[in-house]
Amino acid sequence: MTGPHHVQEFASPWWLPDGHTQTLWRRFVSHTPLPRRRQRVELSDGDFIDLDWVDSPSTDAGSARDLPTVFLLHGLCGSSASPYVLSLQRLLQTRGYTSVAMNFRGCSGEINRLARAYHSGCTEDLEEIYQCLRQHTGARPMVFAGFSLGGNVLLKWLSEIGRRDDVLLGVSVSAPFSLSYCSGAMNSGLTKAYGHYFRRRLVRDVESKRVHFRASGRLDELQKLEALGDLQRLQTLWEFDDQVTAPLHGFDGAEHYYQTCSSGPLLSAIHTPVQLIQSANDPIIPAGCLPRPGELPMHVRLHLTETGGHVGFTCAGQPLWLEQRILAAIEACQPASGA
């Protein structure tokens, strides 16, 4: 059974003084192994998505049934093995929750079967996985948490599904509410390093997929990748999205993709309770693209810290502040019988 959970106000430790150090520290923190159960879901278009489950250790079957399943979505160039995913799944297990982390297409350690991959608005994949899980678990309540790109996908999906009784809560961390704004910000200053990192990783993934498709004889899908042209000449994330992301996923170009998939303009269409967790010194998400609290629906709440970086939030005196904050939101959203 769960109970009230205290989360202190966020304050960066002296040794993580800015958004960059907060962001990078999270990436390099080591974690002990976490036993997980992998499930492969075959998609309707012939591709697949891998899920990684951490089951509740509770011996009280009734208590475990009362708790919602927590569904996690990772960020750009991440996976279910990203440190923030593993850390949250570990904490949730200690509190009796079952959690499942979805790997976007091609992110689970095995190249996916189609030329298409994933992007900031691929809600159709989330919807298909949700429907698949519903078939197997019935209407067991679910809570969703998304990080960075995964947060944007989650918010867009919530804006599309209307009210669903089994979807109790959405928690979004460091979401890029304006994809165009964020992409542009990664073209200058220190933030340019993040743009180069993402671009290089994404180009490498496409090149690896080309080699794999050529070797495995997937010539129809290989042709789609070859049509993208020379990717080594791309200099920015915007150029990658314009030349690769957009044509592979049915958009007319980078700006059409950004406009269609940005979650900021969609927040007013969300009916599910939502907790937004953002930092004002996030080096990837400029403060200028954050929603204003007064313009949000009553059930969409923004928790904005002065510091914390991008999916960082290592707090002085409470290193797992982010995980604890998400847990507190989950516990607060449940009816009294499950709290």
Q: Which of 276, 277, 280, 289 is nearest to 309 (CA)?
A: 280
Amino acid at 173: V
How far is the C-alpha of 216 from the C-alpha of 132, rounded, in Å? 29
**CA-only gyration radius of the chain, Å:** 19
Q: Which of 276, 252, 250 is nearest to 171 (CA)?
A: 276
Using the structure block, give the residue that is written with the tokens 């809570």. 143
Using the structure block, give the residue that is written with the tokens 């939030």. 313
Is 148 one of the annotated active-site residues of the chain?
Answer: yes
Is 136 one of the annotated active-site residues of the chain?
Answer: no
Angle at CA 6, nearest 5°, toward 29 and 325? 45
How far is the C-alpha of 339 from the C-alpha of 335, rounded, in Å? 6
Q: Which of 331, 337, 258, 336 is nearest to 97 (CA)?
A: 331
Is 242 one of the annotated active-site residues of the chain?
Answer: no
Residues 153 and 73: beta-carbon distance below 8 Å: yes
Using the structure block, give the residue that is written with the tokens 């929603």. 291
The catalytic residue among 148, 174, 183, 262 is 148
Beta-bridge partners for 167:
142
Residues labelled as active-site residues: 148, 282, 310
